[in-house]
């Protein structure tokens, strides 16, 4: 019987710096992305010191979801200016499947920089996704 020899190469996780971190309930992010999906194919994440907003703009309509910092949502930023980045809704919806394993999600990003979503189960599991920003051709 012939044997198959399969080589496995371990993927290296890039060392990325994220000055903005938002910890919130996964269902809140899921609902916001699903709402934005109705009007557009991409969303813009915007972080301010006390507010995280998600914007989507299509040909006929717009969506703006604003999430304030409170006891269920923690926004931390090492920057003083607002931070914006645009991402594909199609890929975000695939990444949001991580909400099946954890009620909470940590969203980390930077100005026009990759996005990282972390789903954690305390002392058991960490599921991370990295998504490149959407680049618009002018």
* Assigned CATH for 20-131: 3.10.150.10
Mean pLDDT in residue range 59-87: 90
Q: What is the pLDDT of residue 9?
A: 73
Question: Closest by alpha carbon to 65, among 90, 45, 85?
Answer: 45
φ, ψ for residue 13, nearest 5 deg? -85, 125
Domain boundaries, the chain: 20-131
pTM over 0.75: yes
């Amino acid at each position: 019987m012939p044997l198959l020899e399969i080589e496995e190469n371990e993927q290296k996780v890039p060392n990325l710096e994220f000055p903005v971190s938002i910890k919130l309930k996964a269902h809140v992010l899921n609902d916001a992305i699903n709402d934005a999906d109705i009007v557009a194919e991409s969303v813009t994440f915007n972080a301010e010191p006390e507010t995280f907003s998600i914007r989507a703009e299509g040909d006929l309509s717009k969506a703006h979801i604003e999430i304030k910092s409170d006891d269920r949502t923690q926004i931390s930023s090492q920057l003083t200016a607002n931070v914006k980045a645009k991402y594909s809704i199609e890929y975000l919806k695939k990444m949001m499947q991580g909400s099946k394993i954890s009620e909470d999600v940590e969203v980390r990003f930077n100005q026009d920089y990759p996005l990282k979503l972390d789903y954690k189960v305390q002392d058991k599991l960490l599921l991370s996704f990295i998504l490149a920003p959407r680049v618009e051709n002018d």
